A and B are shown apart, each in its own frame.
Chain A
Amino acid sequence: MTGLELAIAAFALMLVAIFFRVPIGVAMGVTGFIGTWIVLGRSNAPLSLMKSLTYETFSSYSLSIVPLFLLMGQFATKSGMSAALFKAASDWLGHRRGGVAMAAVGACAGFGAVCGSSLATASTMGQVALPEMRKRGYADSLSTGVLAAGGTLGILIPPSIILVIYAILAEQNIVKMFIAALVPGILAALGYMLTVAVYCWFKPEAGPALERVPMGARIRDLGRIWPVVVIFGLVMGGIAADWNWAQDGVQALFTPTEGAAVGAVATGIYGVFSGGLTWRGFLDSVLSAASSTAMIFFIVLGAHMFNSFLAFTQAPQDLADWISGQGFAPLLVLAIMLVTYLIFGCVMDSLSMILLTIPIFFPIVQALDWTILGYAMDQEQAAIWFGILALIVVEVGLITPPVGINLFIINSMARDIPIARTYAGVAPFVASDLLRVVLLVAFPGITLWLVGVLF
Chain B
Amino acid sequence: MSVAPEMERAVGGVIEKCARWLAYGGGIVLAGVAVMVVLSVIGRALDGVGLSPIRGDYELVQTGVALAVFAFLPWCQYNRGHVSVDILITQFPSRGQAFFGLIGDALITLAAFVIAWRIWIGFGEKFPFGSDGLRAALDMGSRPFFPETTYELAIPMWIPYGLAFLFSALFFLTALYTIWRALNWTLQGRENLV
- Show the binding face of A for B, using Cβ within 8 Å: 18-27, 29-30, 33, 47, 50-55, 58-61, 63-64, 67-68, 71, 238, 253-254, 257-258, 260-262, 264-265, 268, 282-283, 285-287, 289-295, 297-299, 302, 347-349, 351-352, 402-403
Contacts and interface: CB of A to CB of B under 8 A. Distances in A.
A51 B23 contact: no
Interface string B1-38: 00000000000000000001001101110110111011
Contact of B86 (A21, A51, A299): A21
Nearest to A403: B87
Q: Give 4 nearest A-B pairs by CB, closest first.
A: A286-B27, A294-B76, A59-B66, A261-B37
8 contacts: A22-B103, A23-B84, A26-B111, A59-B63, A64-B61, A286-B30, A294-B69, A298-B73
Contacts of B75: 287, 290-291, 294
Given A18-B85, A286-B24, A291-B72, A51 B65 contact: no
A174 to B, nearest CB: 15
B122 A294 contact: no
B160 interface: yes
Contact of A290 (B27, B61, B114, B118): B27
A257 B38 CA distance: 11
Contacts of B86: 21, 403
B79 interface: yes
Nearest to B39: A265
B88 interface: yes
A25 B33 contact: no
Contact of A289 (B30, B107, B115, B125): B30
Contact of A295 (B81, B110, B114): B81
Interface of B, helix, strand, loop or mixed by DSSP: helix
| Count class of interface residues, chain B | 35 or more
B62 A264 contact: no
B83 A283 contact: no
A290 B28 contact: no
A51 B126 CA distance: 11
A297 B69 contact: yes
A435 to B, nearest CB: 27
Contact of B68 (A51, A253, A293, A299): A293
Nearest to A33: B114
Contacts, number: 197
Contacts of B61: 61, 64, 257, 261
A393 to B, nearest CB: 18
A26 B111 CA distance: 7
B136 interface: no
B174 to A, nearest CB: 11
Most buried by A among B20, B35, B83, B160: B83
B114 A253 contact: no
Contacts of A52: 122
A352 B82 CA distance: 11
A258 B37 contact: yes
A258 B38 CA distance: 7
Given A21-B104, A294-B82, 19 more contacts: A18-B84, A21-B85, A21-B97, A21-B103, A24-B82, A26-B82, A50-B114, A51-B125, A59-B66, A61-B61, A261-B37, A265-B35, A286-B28, A286-B30, A287-B23, A287-B24, A289-B27, A291-B76, A298-B73
B70 interface: yes
B107 to A, nearest CB: 5
Contacts of B65: 58-59, 63-64, 67-68
A295 B23 CA distance: 13
Contact of B118 (A47, A282, A299): A47
Contacts of A297: 69, 72
Given A59-B66, A253-B41, A286-B24, A20 B82 contact: no
Interface string B114-145: 11001101100100000000000000000000
B182 to A, nearest CB: 11
A165 to B, nearest CB: 14
B51 interface: no
A58 B76 contact: no
Contacts of B104: 21-23, 26
Contacts of B33: 64, 68, 261
Nearest to B78: A291
A23 B108 contact: yes
B68 A347 contact: no
B53 to A, nearest CB: 10
Contacts of A29: 111
Contact of B100 (A21, A51, A258): A21
B100 A20 contact: yes
B164 interface: yes
A253 B68 CA distance: 26
B45 interface: yes
Given A286-B28, A295-B76, A298-B82, A67 B41 contact: no
Contacts of B63: 59
Contacts of A64: 33, 61-62, 65
B34 A265 contact: yes
A44 to B, nearest CB: 12
A63 B38 CA distance: 18
B168 interface: yes
Contacts of A291: 72, 75-76, 79, 81
Nearest to B63: A59
Contact of B83 (A19, A20, A349): A349
Nearest to A302: B111
Interface in B171-185: none
B41 A254 contact: yes
Contacts of A59: 62-63, 65-66, 160
Contacts of A351: 83
